Amino acid sequence: MKNRIRQLREALGMTQEQLGEMVGTSRQAINAIETEKNEPSIWLAYDIAQVFNEPIESVFLFEESERKSRADISRRHACGPQRD
């Protein structure tokens, strides 16, 4: 999932380690989220957004993400042609 974490973090002069400490996770986890190798839980995403005083959808760019949500995939399968 695309995100603005690095941009927001660097604007505050904050390291990955400092951000991790503030939200209760490791520097490695923050790095994996920043580099889109991992997606945060909704609770971690919320906590990260709170640190930057930004709405979650401003930090995590869902519409620009290449991965489709499980709900979108499920809807497509459910709405597809029915076979008997």
Specify if 84 maps to a domain.
no
If one counts the domains in the chain, the total is: 1
DSSP 29-61: HHHHHHTTSS---HHHHHHHHHHTT--HHHHB-
Q: Is 20 part of any domain? A: yes
DSSP 64: G
How far does Cα 47 stand from its chain's mean position?
Answer: 11
Residue 32 forms part of a structural domain:
yes
Q: How far apart are CA 56 and CA 67, in angstroms?
A: 18
pTM listed for this prediction: 0.76
Taking alpha carbons only, the member of 21, 84, 82 closest to residue 51 is 21
pLDDT in tens, the chain (84 residues): 899 999 999 999 999 999 999 999 999 999 999 999 999 999 999 999 999 999 999 999 987 556 655 666 667 766 655 555
Domain span holding position 46: 5-79
With respect to residue 74, please indicate whether it lies within any of the assigned structural domains.
yes
Q: Is residue 61 part of a domain?
A: yes
Query: What CATH number does the domain containing 25 carry?
Result: 1.10.260.40
